[in-house]
Amino acid sequence: MSQVGGLPIRVKQSRKVDPRLVRLFGWLVLGALLRLMTVTTEGTSTNHLLVVDAAFKSTKLIGWLVAGFIMWVLTELWRARKIGALVTSRTTGVRRQWRTVADRALSRRAALLAVVVAAIVLPQFLSEFYQRVLVDQVAVFVLLAVGLNVVVGWAGLLDLGYVAFFAIGAYTCAYFTGALPVAPPFTLNPFVILPVAVVVCLVAGLLLGAPTLRLRGDYLAIVTLGFHEIVQLFLVNKNNWTGGNQGVSKPVPHFSINLFGIHYKWTLASLPYWYLFIGMLAIVVFLFSRLEHSKVGRSWTAVREDEVAAAANGVPTVKYKLMAFAIGASTSGLAGVLYASRLGYINPASFPVVLSISVLSYVIFGGMGSIIGVIAGSALLTFLPAVFQEQNIVRQEDIPMWIGAILVTMMLVRPQGLIPSRRRRRELRLASEGVADADAMSEAPEGRGTG
């Protein structure tokens, strides 16, 4: 316990040190840490210091330390010149005036069109490997992130069991296509399963959300985390239902259309699946963006900003939270069906807890609450790791570590994300001025004051 007594003295001392030196120290430590993180060797359980050795007994360490030093110099210069910032802010003000609202709407349409055209045309020119990445990673996770954005970005709820619904959707698909050890009463085409899985996940979301959403928001995070763990355990341990760790017993069939004289069967080829996925994504994004600018979206904002005021003005807060939670869950289930059918094989290891956190980080990175930001963020964070992995720059095992680092950095430096929604950015600024709340984490407005 002597450290506790000793601590305050250390804190006092650091106050006397020139803050610039403290910052220099910080940058150097950051450089060393980055060196440690970029080592390509992997530690072993017999020689624990192998990696540390490899990292620090190498000339590359000096490179990173120098980089840290340069960053320090640059930031100190920037700090010193902050006084000149007035001038620049005035010019940006003018620029903002010059860009009118109509202008912005037009340019947004143009950008959207460009993205859609690029999404249709560009994959044709990619190699088979990157096409597969686009389908298996980018498309699936963008869809997941767009769904989680409803829960986290719009309703301000932290859902860490999001991927559990993804698993439920995927296993629903496996069940109704007869791929699980338990035989279904009838087998269905994956297309027909889509709405079924949506309903199943909606119900699962309501069942989980109804008892927990009345509580403090941060409990929700841990309960959903627990839910994910329970779903995992169920998938692993209920061998005779789910096939346990081995996963499905027969491959899940691909999508196929056999309607009105149109016959088409999706196969292992990636491109047809890509178009199917982005088609689905387009529908979801279209519906969600309508939702955002509707009564429902506004009510979510109200709940997020001031739950007490929202309730006092007739917004049923729990109902709206539950709605967001269920909509998120069903989007996740939808993605699950697409994923299961595309890969043909799923097992519990396809849905680890860390995946929920990864999807969360995509949403955060892109910018909570902004659909465009979330799509960009998740596309970037799923595509880039694949590139790095392909080029042998980053080991696959290290990706969660980088994701964690990105999450923390983002929260410290740019909590509003890459392409933030205007509302969110305003909320965060107001929160820092002590005016408003920006999440639905406070105590539920009802049920206090008894006893």
Is the Cβ–Cβ distance between 167 and 365 less than 8 Å? no
Residues 362-391 that bind another protein (CB under 8 A): 364
Q: What is the residue-wise DSSP string for 117-128?
A: HHHHHGGGGS-H
**In terms of C-beta density within 10 A (0-12 exposed, 13-18 middle, 19 or more buried), how is residue 451 classed?**
exposed
State whether the Cα torsion 391-364-406-331 is positive or negative. Answer: negative
Residue from the set 65, 403, 418, 420 that interacts with another protein by CB under 8 A: 403
User: Is 217 a residue that touches another protein (CB under 8 A)?
Assistant: yes
Q: Which residue has the tokens 């692993």?
A: 236
Residue 217 to residues 290, 319, 340, Cα–Cα distance (Å):
26, 14, 32
User: Is 406 a residue that touches another protein (CB under 8 A)?
Assistant: yes
Residue from the set 302, 329, 338, 340 that interacts with another protein by CB under 8 A: 302
What's the token pair of residue 425? 């950015």
Residues 425-444 that bind another protein (CB under 8 A): 426-428, 430-439, 441-442
Pick the closer one to another protein by CB: 188 or 441: 441
User: Is 134 a residue that touches another protein (CB under 8 A)?
Assistant: no
User: Is 225 a residue that touches another protein (CB under 8 A)?
Assistant: yes
User: Is 69 a residue that touches another protein (CB under 8 A)?
Assistant: no
State how far the Cα of 184 lies from the Cα of 101, in Å rounded to an integer: 54
Is the Cβ–Cβ distance between 237 and 243 less than 8 Å? no
Residue from the set 105, 117, 192, 354 that interacts with another protein by CB under 8 A: 354
Residue from the set 198, 296, 335, 372 that interacts with another protein by CB under 8 A: 296
Residue from the set 294, 349, 387, 390 that interacts with another protein by CB under 8 A: 294
User: Is 405 a residue that touches another protein (CB under 8 A)?
Assistant: yes
Residue from the set 20, 79, 109, 290 that interacts with another protein by CB under 8 A: 290
Residue from the set 73, 215, 269, 349 that interacts with another protein by CB under 8 A: 215
User: Is 342 a residue that touches another protein (CB under 8 A)?
Assistant: no
Q: Which residue has the tokens 């429902």?
A: 296
What is residue 388's three-state secondary structure? helix
Pick the closer one to another protein by CB: 181 or 226: 226
What's the token pair of residue 359? 């999807």
User: Applying CB under 8 A, what is the total number of residues that bind another protein?
Assistant: 108
State how far the Cα of 142 lies from the Cα of 234, in Å rounded to an integer: 27
